[in-house]
Chains A and B, each alone.
Chain A
Amino acid sequence: MGTGVLGGAWDWLGDGANWAGENGVWNRLAEHVYVSGLALALACAVALPVGLWLGHVGRGGALAVNISNAGRAVPVFAVLALFMVSPLRNAGYTPTVVALVLFAVPPLLTNAYVGLREVDRSVVEAARGMGMSGRQLFWKVELPLARGLVMTGVRSAAVQVVATATIAAMVGQGGLGRIITAGFNTYNTPQVVAGALLVALLALLVEGVLVAADRLVAPSSRHRRTLRTEHS
Chain B
Amino acid sequence: MAGRDSCLVANDWLCWEYVTSRSQELTEATVQHVWITAASVLIGLLVSVPLALLARRGRHWAAPVLGLTTLLYTVPSLAMFSLLLPLFGLSASLVVTGLVLYSLTILVRGVLAGLDGVPREVKEAARGMGYGPVRMLWQVELPLALPALLAGVRIATVSTVALTTVGAIVGKGGLGNLIAPAVTSSFKAQVLTASVLCVLLALVADLLLLGVQRLLTPWTRTAAKGA
Contact surface of A with B, Cβ cutoff 8 Å: 1, 5, 69, 72-79, 81-82, 84-86, 159-160, 163-164, 166-167, 169-172, 177, 180-181, 183-184, 189, 192-193, 195-196, 199-200, 203
The contact size tier of chain B is 35 or more
Contacts of B186 in A (CB 8 A): 85
Q: Is B128 an interface residue (CB 8 A)?
A: no
Asked whether, in the complex, the Cβ of B194 is within 8 Å of the Cβ of A78, the reply is yes
Contact of A199 among B76, B176, B206 (CB under 8 A): B76
Q: How far is the CB of B223 from chain A (nearest CB, A)?
A: 20
Asked whether, in the complex, the Cβ of B76 is within 8 Å of the Cβ of A166, the reply is yes
Q: Is B163 an interface residue (CB 8 A)?
A: yes
Can you list the 5 inter-chain pairs with the closest CB atoms, starting with the nearest?
Answer: A196-B79, A73-B202, A78-B195, A75-B162, A166-B76
Residue of B nearest to A1 (CB): B83
**Given A72-B158, A72-B159, A164 and B176 contact (CB-CB distance below 8 Å):** no
Contacts of A192 in B (CB 8 A): 79, 82-83, 85
- The 8 A CB mask of B199-221 against A (1 = contact, 0 = none) is 10011001000000000000000
Q: Is B8 an interface residue (CB 8 A)?
A: no
Residue of B79, B166, B180, B188 with most chain A CB atoms under a 10 A cut-off: B79
Asked whether, in the complex, the Cβ of B158 is within 8 Å of the Cβ of A73, the reply is yes
15 contacts between A and B (CB under 8 A): A74-B162, A78-B191, A81-B182, A85-B191, A86-B188, A163-B76, A166-B77, A180-B78, A181-B169, A184-B82, A189-B85, A189-B86, A192-B83, A193-B83, A203-B74
**Whole-angstrom CA separation of A86 from B191 in the bound complex:** 10
Contact of B74 among A1, A76, A159 (CB under 8 A): A159
Contacts of B52 in A (CB 8 A): none
Contact surface of B with A, Cβ cutoff 8 Å: 74-79, 82-83, 85-86, 155, 158-159, 161-163, 165-166, 168-169, 176, 179-180, 182-183, 186-188, 191-192, 194-195, 198-199, 202-203, 206
Per DSSP, chain B at the interface is helix
Contacts of B206 in A (CB 8 A): 73
Contacts of A171 in B (CB 8 A): 183
Q: How many A-B residue pairs have CB under 8 A?
A: 118
Asked whether, in the complex, the Cβ of B155 is within 8 Å of the Cβ of A167, the reply is no
Asked whether, in the complex, the Cβ of B182 is within 8 Å of the Cβ of A85, the reply is yes
Contacts of B192 in A (CB 8 A): 82
Contacts of B162 in A (CB 8 A): 72-76, 78
**Whole-angstrom CA separation of A169 from B77 in the bound complex:** 12
Q: How far is the CB of B17 from chain A (nearest CB, A)?
A: 17
Contacts of A82 in B (CB 8 A): 191-192, 195
**Whole-angstrom CA separation of A192 from B87 in the bound complex:** 14
Asked whether, in the complex, the Cβ of B203 is within 8 Å of the Cβ of A184, the reply is no
Contacts of A200 in B (CB 8 A): 74-75
**Whole-angstrom CA separation of A167 from B168 in the bound complex:** 11
Contact of A164 among B76, B86, B183, B202 (CB under 8 A): B76
